[in-house]
Amino acid sequence: MSRKKGLRKRNHRNNYYNIFIKGKRYQGKEKTEGFVLSKGINVLLSGVLLVAIVALLAVVILNWVTTLTKKEQATITNKTISCTGADVSIHSIFVDVGSNTSRISVRNSGFSDDAIVSATILNKQGDPAPNLTAFPINFPDGSIATISFNISGKMTSCSNFSRAIVSTQCTSDDQDKPLTCA
């Protein structure tokens, strides 16, 4: 009589049940489905360990995501609060073709202090004029700042002026017509 895989057979001498899996014989005392093999871990114990490991990983990942979210939210909230009420406006633009210079007067028309981080004057071809002012410029509320540019080779006439752009940490303004051109 040939034995099939997984076939259980009782040994009458010592009341052990033999189970044959893939040609190997294992012995145990129980005949139920929870048959304990003499080699390896109980199926129930391995399931409990697997669930415990997955639960532990879930707790660690959830804690990491919560901490990261709170940290980023605090950074964004601080940035939003400091920019509330910030506004900048270009007060005037002076283009002096004869002396190859241009100046932008910028007013902090908002209710909070700010800092000018960049300014650009563009000609009709989109070429920026070199800046003569160092950035950042501290910009208290209500104050006016002047930014100078060298326009030699960039603007040969007032009609070459295209746009002036001023940016602060919180906002920006642009204007496309000079108020004074000489």
Q: What residue ranges define each of the domains in the chain, with the CATH number in brackets?
A: 1-40 (no CATH), 88-175 (2.60.40.10)
Q: Is the pLDDT confidence value at 14 over 60?
A: no
Which residue is associated with the tokens 């906002």?
Answer: 171
C-alpha to C-alpha distance for 157 and 97, rounded to whole angstroms: 6
- pTM as predicted: 0.55
Question: What is the token pair recorded at 94?
Answer: 């002076």
Burial 118-153 (b: 16+ CB within 10 A, else e): ebbbbbeeeeebeeeeeeebebeeeeebebbbebee
Least reliable range by pLDDT among 27-36, 44-53, 100-109, 113-122: 27-36
One-character DSSP codes across 66-118 = HHHHHHHHHHHHHHHHHHTT--EEEEEEEEETTTTEEEEEEEE-SSS-EEEEE
pLDDT at 22: 59
Per residue in 21-78, pLDDT (tens digit) is 555 655 555 444 445 444 556 777 888 899 999 999 999 999 999 998 888 887 776 6
